[in-house]
Homo-oligomer: A and B are copies of this chain.
């Protein structure tokens, strides 16, 4: 049952349009987050801010393969997923400002982005706590005969939680259409993979549940895209879950309070050499699919989108304090 993809890097078929699209998506995330970090130091954004910089290929490569009607769940490090999924940049930024125009009305903040239209079910900040939710969402679809895929992102750290075990077993046992995407960035906060797992080949764990699994170069958006395409196609046709381990790396600190004592600068530099954006640019150029002009054009577009997002957030309003006790219970009539 186990399929091990480990695709040769950057050999996947790609045309200009698709290449530009993937690059655009990754740049949107990168520039948005760079801006967020800046705004954090200006204290416009508060609380915890977990950046995805370096890992963009994972969310972008996977999300490409999902239909608008599919379900997505992510962690507290989910700006990338939200943007790639199509949640508006302004709504995400406003959320981080704590404005009521935010995608979760300012109640959630960076760790709890939600969006109904794109079926983006958070933004979950209990590590591993959203894994059982994915099982249930997929179960609902299966029971109704809806041909949706539930795609869930989680980290290497989450794999040690009991919820991982329970959720993988349940989804395999019940043959549920879930795509588990493990973003293995080699650290859970400051704890290295080797200090978290007796077996560090995380894809191997899927075998304990008889689940199809693949380890993929998570710094390569084409590889991610191809692997996820195979997985999503299989899930949509066969109904059984898949597990993808995306081997990736976060370039920044765990959150904004992190002295990064637990890893060597040289290690970070090495991985920066594998920057998914630069890698894609290199490939596309090598294949003569894009020019520097194209890149500048994209950067310009992205710059405008980020600026507009920030403006939207700045222009946003504060939810009245009198509304504090709303949304503890549902206000509308019974469904």
Contacts and interface: CB of A to CB of B under 8 A. Distances in A.
A38 interface: no
Contacts of A65: none
A183 B122 CA distance: 40
A209 interface: yes
B160 A169 contact: yes
A196 interface: yes
A207 interface: yes
Interface stretch (A20-28, A198-206, A271-279, A314-322): A198-206
A172 interface: yes
**How many monomers of this protein are in the complex?**
2
B161 A166 contact: yes
B198 A172 contact: yes
A166 B162 contact: yes
Interface in A142-186: 160-166, 169, 172-173
Contact of A205 (B162, B198, B208): B208
Contacts of A197: 169, 173
Given A199-B208, A208-B208, A210-B199, A166 B160 contact: yes
A173 B161 contact: no
A137 interface: no
A288 B162 CA distance: 50
A52 B264 CA distance: 55
B209 A198 contact: yes
A66 interface: no
Nearest to A167: B162
Interface string A54-94: 00000000000000000000000000000000000000000
Given A165-B166, A204-B207, A204-B208, 6 more contacts: A160-B169, A161-B166, A162-B162, A162-B164, A199-B207, A199-B208
Interface of A: 160-166, 169, 172-173, 195-199, 204-205, 207-211
